[in-house]
Amino acid sequence: MAAVSENLLFAAFLLYLAAVPFFGGAIKGKKKVDGPRRNKAALIGITLTIIGFLSQFGYFISRWMASGHAPVSNLFEFTTAFGMMLVLAFIILYFVYQVSVLGLFTLPIALLIIAYASMFPSDISPLIPSLQSNWLYIHVTTAALGQAILAISFVAGVIFLLKHVDQTKPGKKTFGLELVMFMIVVTLAFIAVTSIFRMTGYEAKFNWVDKNKKESVMVYELPALVGPHKGELVTQDRLEPFVDLPPVFSGRKVNTVLWSFGTGLILYGLIRLIIRKRLSALLQPLVKQVNLDLVDEIGYRAVSIGFPVFALGGLIFAMIWAQIAWTRFWGWDPKEVWALITFLFYAAYLHLRLSRGWHGEKSAWLAVIGFAIIMFNLIFVNLVIAGLHSYA
């Protein structure tokens, strides 16, 4: 059963990947692409996407069966589920709006998210006592769904900005948009670097002294650019770090971040050298025929649908479960705070749009920031800021 679920996930990945070029082909056509004369490429694209989603859903169910619990209990499981929800959200919005360009951009993001998730331990693991509750699947899946729907507004926002931002006038806007592109490259770099070293089985053991003055062992899976506090390399023939960090920092994590950004920078630099313009400028022709009103509307709709779902799953269900498991429905732990921040941010988005008329470009930038907050909650809060909620 476990093997089945792994294969289904892999199949889903391939299907999403296959769907991308079809969506790309779909937007090339000059004719109107909806109604009875449905664009064939788009049809293939969405079919592949749906089959992929079903496959991933199959992964979800079979993994549930294999482990006996909802597969949302660690970082790998949650992030894959988030990717799945993203695809689901896209499918729903596709049927409402029939916008192929949305698929062209959402699926790669979903692929990136699933690949990113795969960098983390994916062993099927049993539940610790605090997770042994039905609320695990009620709270976490709803929260993931809410966040995924909100994430679609990010995709719509990026599409909007790719078309709208004038690439001939370098400034804050081109920088901001390019920053988004850069972060995507960094994620890609993280995935590439981690995968490559994992394939070679790289491992470097360090003896180090943690912040409680205790001796401990830390295993690196990437060559050590920075070492842990008072680190002593045990494994032979491995890279010696250039500098040791103070004990508050986890050497391994900082090292991974450095590798990701470093490689990302180099990769990005290479890409810039080759294409001779900004990545956003490279992508701009893809969105040439996009109706800005429509994309703006989709972005807004995603928030208006996703906001209640997120409030329900990420806050209300969370509070109910926290009261049952942790004696208190709210404890200001970092995960809870960042969920609140996400909620407040999108509340501000809605007020600014509905009462202050912030349509179009302003909305798009807000959607980008909102996604950054969601990603911060997923990555930084889980991995760096420890707490009751930290998974990794």
Partner 1 sequence: MKEVKCECGHINPIGTVLCESCGNPIAAKEKNSSKLLDMRYDGSARRSQTYNKTIVDKVWNFFSSVKVGVWLIVITLLASSLGTIFPQERFIPPGASASTYYEEQYGSFGKLYYTLGFHDLYNSWWFLALVASIGISLVICSLDRVIPLYRALKNQGVIKKEGFMRRQRLFSETDKTLDQHTYEGIKKAMKQKRYRVREENGHILAEKGRFSRWGPYVNHIGLIIFLIGSMLRFVPGMYVDETLWVREGETAPIPGTDGQYFLKNNAFSIDRYETGNEKEVFENAIERAGDGQVVKSYKTDATLYKREGEVVFGEKPKLKQVSEHDIKVNEPLKFDQFSLYQVDFKQNELDQMVFQLIRKDTEKSFGTVKINLLEPKSEYDLGSGYKVKVMSYLPDFYFDDDGTPSTKTRNPNNPAFVFEMVSPEKPKGEKSFVAIQETVEGSDNNLYKMKFDRVETKNVTGLTVRKDLTLGVLIVGGIIFMIGVVQGMYWQHRRIWLSAKDGKVFVAGHTNKNWFGLKSDLGVLLSDSGIKQPVDQKELPDTTSISKSKGEGLDGSSQ
Residues numbered 162-181 forming contacts with partner 1, rule: CB under 8 A: 164
Q: From CA 239, how far away is CA 222, in angstroms rounded?
A: 9
Q: Which of 33, 222, 302, 318 binds partner 1 (CB under 8 A)?
A: 33
Q: Which stretch binds partner 1 (CB under 8 A): 107-115, 144-152, 231-239, 352-360?
A: 352-360
Pairing mode, if any, of strands 243-244 and 232-233?
A: unpaired
SS3 for 222? coil
Residues in contact with 280: Cβ distance below 8 Å, sequence separation at least 6, in sequence order:
161, 162, 165, 167, 174, 177, 178, 181
| Cβ-based burial of 32 (10 A; exposed 0-12, middle 13-18, buried ≥19) | exposed
Of these, 209, 286, 294, 375, which contacts partner 1 (CB under 8 A)?
Answer: 294
Q: Whole-number minimum distance, CB 39 to partner 1, in Å?
A: 8
Q: Which range touches partner 1 (CB under 8 A), out of 151-159, 183-191, 274-282, 324-332?
A: 324-332
Beta bridge partners of 227: 244
Out of 311, 318, 367, 378, point to the residue binding partner 1 (CB under 8 A): 311
Least gap, CB of 163 to partner 1 (angstroms): 9
Q: How far apart are CA 22 and CA 56, in angstroms?
A: 20
Residues 355 to 374 in contact with partner 1, rule: CB under 8 A: 355-356, 359-361
State yes or no: residue 319 binds partner 1 (CB under 8 A): yes
Between residue 34 and residue 53, which ones bind partner 1 under the rule CB under 8 A?
34-35
Residue 307 lies near partner 1 (rule: CB under 8 A): yes
Stretch that binds partner 1, among 51-59, 195-203, 266-274, 384-392 (CB under 8 A): 384-392
Q: How many residues bind partner 1 (CB under 8 A)?
A: 78
Beta strands in the chain (DSSP E): 204-209, 215-220, 226-227, 232-233, 243-244
Counting contacts by CB under 8 A, is residue 352 touching partner 1? yes
Residues 188-217, interacting with partner 1 (CB under 8 A): 211
Token digits for 224? Answer: 């050590």
Return the C-alpha torsion angle 127, 128, 133, 134, nearest 10.
-30
Closest CA to 335 of 294, 376, 282, 297: 376
- Judge whether 392 and 120 are in contact, CB under 8 Å: yes
Among 161, 97, 158, 108, CA closest to 301: 97
Q: Where are the alpha helices (DSSP H) in 119-243?
A: 135-164, 172-199
Among residues 116, 112, 113, 102, the alpha carbon closest in space to that of 155 is found at 102
Closer by beta carbon to partner 1, 264 or else 334: 334
**x/- map, 107-146, partner 1, by CB under 8 A:** --------------x-xxxx-xxx-xx-x-----------
Q: Does 61 bind partner 1 (CB under 8 A)?
A: no
- When the beta carbons of 197 and 329 are compared against partner 1, the nearer one is 329
The answer to whether 100 contacts partner 1 (rule: CB under 8 A) is: yes
For the CB of residue 272, give the shortest distance to partner 1 in the complex, in Å.
Answer: 28
- Cβ proximity to partner 1: between 258 and 340 the closer is 340
Q: Which of the residues 249 through 278 are near partner 1 (CB under 8 A)?
A: none
Nearer CB in complex with partner 1: 195/323 = 323
Q: Which is nearer to partner 1, 266 or 347 (CB)?
A: 347
